[in-house]
Amino acid sequence: MAQLVHAGLISQRRLSRQLIYSAEYGAMNELLAYLTENCCGRGQSCAPACNPADALRQETAMKRLHVHVSVDDLAQSTRFYSTLFAAEPTVVKDDYVKWMLDDPRVNFAISTRPGRPSGISHLGIQAEDESELAEVYDRLSRAERPIVEARNATCCYAQSDKQWIADPQGVPWETFYTYGESTVHGESSLAKLKEVNEAVCCAPSCCEPEAIRTREPAGATACCAR
């Protein structure tokens, strides 16, 4: 194990009296890509169909669960979750902190905003690419719940394409694909989601729509804090 850690193929972290090992898929992919580029000798590349690096990328690509918690004391909560996860945050802002964890595979964020109650803000599913986002959106469209769509959204210091939906208990969920960073936090689409859901709830049962899709204008801001 020590040799694998030294080679950068796995990482090691201590949790109490245990040592936790995690695979470093990026380094593994680079090693496999280097080996397969020269596996036929004389600088000849292997056939793409036989390239295990590509197969490994396909196997390891997966969606990530997202959890966002509104907190009262950002510094105190940052210390707590850093201890719980045995990991330092990936993003740290004055009003927002995020951990991108691989074990468990979670995008976990906390934020503090004036007038926002503490507790679970919302849950979500983060897609790795546009095709995964389209796959999840296809499921949402069959859920018979109102959907708020936000393209080119600025949310939590990132630029993303998003869809918002609330479950039957009213818990907000977002599905999103992030493709860039932002210098500002952004504004909320949750108010729009609440408005659309209330419109459906108040509609006469005889003409209640199976689903409502509301698309925000391209470039509109959306934020995952509440």
Is 221 inside a domain boundary? no
Query: 78 Cβ partners below 8 Å, 6+ apart?
Result: 89, 92, 97, 110
Q: What is the pLDDT at residue 218?
A: 45
Domain around 56: 2-60
Tell me: do 14 and 111 sit in the same domain. no
- Helical H segments across 116-223, by residue range: 130-140, 190-202
Q: What is the pLDDT at residue 215?
A: 52
Task: Report the number of distinct structural domains present in the chain.
Answer: 2
Q: 95 and 112 in contact (C-beta within 8 Å)?
A: yes
Give residue 105's identity as a one-letter amino acid code.
Answer: R
Tell me: do 73 and 44 sit in the same domain. no
Tell me: do 127 and 202 sit in the same domain. yes
Mind listing the pLDDT tens digit of every residue in the chain (226 residues)?
A: 777 777 888 887 777 667 777 888 888 888 877 776 655 555 555 555 455 544 444 445 568 999 999 999 999 999 999 999 999 999 999 999 999 999 999 999 999 988 888 999 999 999 999 999 999 999 988 988 888 888 878 777 888 888 889 898 889 999 999 888 777 776 666 667 777 777 766 554 434 434 444 555 444 444 444 4
Q: Is 23 helix (H, G, I), strand (E, B) or coil?
A: strand
- Helical H segments across the chain, by residue range: 2-7, 25-37, 52-60, 74-85, 130-140, 190-202
Give yes or no for a cis peptide into 114 (omega within 30° of 0).
no
Q: What is the pLDDT at residue 22?
A: 81
Tell me: do 26 and 129 sit in the same domain. no
- DSSP labels, 205-224: GGG--S--EEEEPTT----S
